[in-house]
Structure 1
Amino acid sequence: MGVTQVLAKLAAQRAHVLLVEALGGWRARVAAEQAAVELGWRISLSPADADVLVVCGTAGPELTASVERIWEQLPGPRVRILVGSAAEALPSFEQARRSLSAVDVHVDDARTRLRVASLSSATETRGNSSEGASGTNHSGMDHSQPYHSAMDHSKPDHSGTDHSGMDHSGTDHTGTDHSKMDHTGTDHSQMDHTGTDHSQMDHTGTDHSGTDHSGTDHSGTDHSGTDHSGTDHSGMDHSGMDMAPAGIPLAGGAADRDGLEMDTLAVQLGPVLPYWPPGLVLHCALNGDVITRARARGLDDAWHGFVEPGGREAAARRCDDAAALLALAGASGLAADARRLRGALLRGDTAAAQHGLDRLERRVRRSLLRWSLGRLGVVEDPALAQHLVAAQAGSVFDRLLAMLGAARDANDGSSGERRDASRLIADLPQLVTGLDLAAARLVVASLGLSSLAAERGGHHE
């Protein structure tokens, strides 16, 4: 075994895994997390840091397209696996580890990617050169109303101008009308017209009596007040210009809350994002880092008609919701405790889980999260509050405590208030508008949408 193979096997023992959860793939995703822990692998938070892409559950057409884009962003060596059920998780991860050590396969993959990138670059270069500058059309520009009213030409002064060396030998003034020119006081004594042929000049009717240049002075010309407000660029055609280089849209402009203009950028959150509900996409318009408009939807019509499951799995799912929110809030230790309780509930260890839930809730109440999350995401609109259950109308911190309380109730066998995912998706834009991206992600995580993606329930309008 050569050095390359040895290093490849060592690297495969510490691989980083990017998990993509399809709707209905919750159990597969939880099993994939546990398999990664057993192998000593780490969960990655971005494609750039991932070695293995794991699709948990069955992806629809739209999510499949997103997965393909993510796959192209993974650096090599890379491996992609599908975990369709919880039972497939550990065998699929073992296969991924063996695939990571197959050096020849990754060399071929790298060469293929290089050829594809070269062909794409050559195609793009040919396309840009064929367009050229001819794609820009200014034919519709209207400059008929430029305002130069503030320019002062009333006193032009040419008194120091020396025309003595001017040669007019080839000048043809045929048809020139000098009737309004006044050369009174003009000194042409130093002008040399030697060789000048005026034989073809016709001064018939020329009157210079009114021309007066004696006080002309341009030294004080002031253009500071020039007004171009009437200039019309509405007909300009930029169809040949690339307004989204490398697929990245350029920012526009819009008035901020204080009336000043700021950049407006379109940003999409989801569907592949750590601690994010599966199949959810949130389209945001940002002024700076603040969301001014938002639109939420589920990929492949994923969220329509989903309701909260019951029983012990419901308790485990609520612990999973709490773990995601705690991880986003930076409380990694509390998040790890919530994941351990999730595992205990799935194993059926209800007594240990009940004790652990009580302890975790006490720790959360005593933590600094009360101050960092206590005023975030409060629903102040009475109409919006009517659409939410009582626990969801408070702050992010209140919703975190409600998650733990719902897990405890489900573990006891009691059922809490039922939540409708379709209603929550519809209300989501109102909940995140006015927040920055980090705060918006905390609000989304606090709604516990992931725990609703269990079994398809009745139809809800």
Structure 2
Amino acid sequence: MGLTRLLVRAAAARPRVLLVTTPGGTAVRLAAERELRCRDWPTAATPAGADLMLVAGPECRELGPALDRLWEDTPRPRVRLRAETAEDVAAALDTGRARLGATEHAHSGTGRTGRTPGQGEGSGRTRTAGGEWRTSADGERRAPVGGDTDGGMEMPGGLPMAEVGEDRDGLALDRLHVSLGPFLADWPSGLIVHLVLQGDVVQRALLGGPCGGGTTEPFWARPWARAAEGEPVPLAEAARRRAAAHLDSLGRLLAVAGWPAEAVTARRIRDDLLERAPAEAVLPRALRLQRRVGRSRTLDRLTRGIGTLSTADARAAGVSGPAARAGGDVPARYRRWLADAVDDVRRLDGRSLLGPTALDSEALTDAAAPPVPTALLDPAAQESPRGRWDAGRPPSVALAGLLPRLLEGTELAGARLVVAGLDPDPDELAAPIREFTGG
């Protein structure tokens, strides 16, 4: 009993937080990451290493079973919290630590799985930190996080068995169905990718439908959405938001690649940009990051040759933005992010307004027409972080649609690097619900 109290008090002093973001919760995630870094609280990559589970963003019923499964897999002592707005984050973390410290007498008889005595194996009920019970819609044991296994036999506990299928050479090999998502560390929240594996090679990939009900104005594309509605938006404001978005994508890729120190550096610069730091304070750090990451031979060797996408193929698929302009593999895209972020930092002192994403060619050649600002002649200066903004079909829809093609033939170890190298915005995929298929 004394050891249990000691461990609970140690966990409550500096709890490990599993940060789970729902689609539409980007602003809340950013606030939570910044708050955790300021408090020096560690984050957990899996439920097994977490003390607090913080759900950031609006409620999404479609993803409720996956959230409940994460909660079931979190060992006691544990506390589950939700922050629906950025302003709720600090109070939620304070509440979580207080509740965690108050659990030292409450769970002395529970095991590692965190089930209380009398809770049935298939009851589908979990107890939250506040003491209330939650019941799943089907009342059954839930599938593993990431969705169904998309076919194949299953063993007890949800573990899929391999089945036999022909590979690309016509050989009969074991084939395993695996799903990635919807909640993984440094993963587009809500996105599910169903994979068919033979050995460690992806033979087939299929996208699952995203969660709906997110915001109608995605966080990263907000300046472009406002400009599309006729509101005057300074180009410097759009450049600041786009540079921060590229650094956010870069931080996710670096974390997946196993370079956490530079991932933190990218995220610190991202947060400073969002806090409206001046260009002269950000530019030297952005240039150092560009040199260090862009010239890294280790990162280049790790990601070289995977997720190759030519500019022509990107344009044919309706992709614009950095992914189309990079015209290459994952290293080409993260170097494009770095170059674009540095260029945007240099635009922070501009005074022109965000203009249309496509200019009338006749207006450009008409001598009687007023001169067009230089910034409007640069397509990259007008694009949203993922490409040309279209509220009816955001650019991330085309990006996500490319994933099945890019993942097929890739080793499983490189699949997450391919996804992180494209980084479709989950807010754009979720609001509103659209036809979304791939494969």
The TM-score with structure 1 as length reference comes to 0.67
Q: In 2, Cα distance between the equivalents of 1:84 and 1:380?
A: 39
Q: In 1, Cα distance between the equivalents of 2:33 and 2:303?
A: 27
Q: In 1, Cα distance between the equivalents of 2:398 and 2:214?
A: 10
Deviates more, 1:400-409 or 1:82-91: 400-409
Contact 1:269 1:281 in 2 (8 A): yes
Structure 1 segment 225-240 matched on structure 2, within 5 A: none
1:49 to partner: Cα distance:
1.2
- The match for 1:364 is 293
1:38 to partner: Cα distance:
3.0
Correspondence 1:253 to 2:161? no
Structure 1 segment 78-93 matched on structure 2, within 5 A: 78-93=78-93
1:434 to 384, 405, 409: 409
Q: Deviations over 1:95-116 (max 9, x none)?
A: 1111111123434876853422
Structure 1 segment 135-154 matched on structure 2, within 5 A: none
Q: In 2, Cα distance between the equivalents of 1:322 and 1:404?
A: 8
Identity of aligned residues (%): 34
1:326 to partner: Cα distance:
1.0
Equivalent residue of 1:449, what SS? coil
- The match for 1:424 is 399
Q: In 2, Cα distance between the equivalents of 1:455 and 1:17?
A: 25
- The match for 2:179 is 268
Mark the CA change 1:384 to 1:396 in structure 2 (over 3 Å): closer, same or farther. same
1:302 to partner: Cα distance:
6.3
Q: Which has the larger radius of gyration?
A: 1
Correspondence 1:104 to 2:105? yes
Structure 1 segment 10-409 matched on structure 2, within 5 A: 10-102=10-102, 103-107=104-108, 113-117=116-120, 243-301=154-212, 309=221, 310=223, 311=238, 312-351=240-279, 352-368=281-297, 369-379=299-309, 383=313, 386-387=316-317, 388-389=319-320, 390-391=324-325, 393-409=327-343
Contact 2:175 2:199 in 1 (8 A): yes
Contact 1:20 1:54 in 2 (8 A): yes
Mark the CA change 1:247 to 1:340 in structure 2 (over 3 Å): closer, same or farther. same
Q: In 1, Cα distance between the equivalents of 2:416 and 2:115?
A: 37
1:303 to partner: Cα distance:
8.4
1:260 to partner: Cα distance:
2.6
Mark the CA change 1:93 to 1:295 in structure 2 (over 3 Å): closer, same or farther. same
Q: In 2, Cα distance between the equivalents of 1:119 and 1:399?
A: 46
Equivalent residue of 2:23, what SS? coil
1:274 to partner: Cα distance:
0.7
1:262 maps to a residue whose letter is L
Q: In 1, Cα distance between the equivalents of 2:121 and 2:214?
A: 40
Equivalent residue of 1:63, what SS? helix
Q: In 1, Cα distance between the equivalents of 2:87 and 2:101?
A: 24
Q: In 2, Cα distance between the equivalents of 1:365 and 1:325?
A: 13
2:184 maps to a residue whose letter is L
Q: Deviations over 1:347-380 (max 9, x none)?
A: 1113222222222111122211233323221125
The TM-score with structure 2 as length reference comes to 0.70
Equivalent residue of 2:188, what SS? coil
Q: In 1, Cα distance between the equivalents of 2:182 and 2:155?
A: 22
1:91 to partner: Cα distance:
1.3
1:445 to partner: Cα distance:
0.6
1:436 to partner: Cα distance:
1.6
Q: In 1, Cα distance between the equivalents of 2:435 and 2:63?
A: 23
Contact 1:5 1:101 in 2 (8 A): no
Q: In 1, Cα distance between the equivalents of 2:417 and 2:273?
A: 25
2:306 maps to a residue whose letter is L
Q: Deviations over 1:314-352 (max 9, x none)?
A: 322221110010111122222121011011111111322
Q: Which runs of 5+ in 1 are unaligned?
A: 121-241
1:401 to partner: Cα distance:
1.4
Q: In 1, Cα distance between the equivalents of 2:168 and 2:263?
A: 36
Q: In 1, Cα distance between the equivalents of 2:100 and 2:416?
A: 33
Mark the CA change 1:339 to 1:62 in structure 2 (over 3 Å): closer, same or farther. same
Query: Which of structures 1 and 2 has the larger relative contact order (alpha carbons within 8 angstroms, sep 6+)?
Result: 2
- The match for 1:171 is none
1:448 to partner: Cα distance:
2.5
Contact 1:9 1:101 in 2 (8 A): yes
Q: In 2, Cα distance between the equivalents of 1:280 and 1:404?
A: 25
1:342 maps to a residue whose letter is R
1:244 to partner: Cα distance:
3.0
1:365 maps to a residue whose letter is G
Equivalent residue of 1:263, what SS? strand
Number of equivalent positions: 341
Q: In 2, Cα distance between the equivalents of 1:303 and 1:287?
A: 36
Tell me the C-alpha RMSD between the 2 structures. Answer: 3.2
1:63 to partner: Cα distance:
1.4
Q: In 1, Cα distance between the equivalents of 2:119 and 2:338?
A: 50
- The match for 2:229 is none
2:388 maps to a residue whose letter is R
Contact 1:63 1:299 in 2 (8 A): no
1:259 to partner: Cα distance:
3.1
Mark the CA change 1:87 to 1:255 in structure 2 (over 3 Å): closer, same or farther. same
Deviates more, 1:31-40 or 1:324-333: 31-40
Q: Which runs of 5+ in 2 are unaligned?
A: 124-152, 224-237, 349-380, 390-394
Contact 2:189 2:426 in 1 (8 A): no
Correspondence 1:449 to 2:424? yes
1:440 maps to a residue whose letter is A
Deviates more, 1:376-385 or 1:290-299: 376-385
Q: In 1, Cα distance between the equivalents of 2:214 and 2:404?
A: 16
Mark the CA change 1:350 to 1:446 in structure 2 (over 3 Å): closer, same or farther. farther
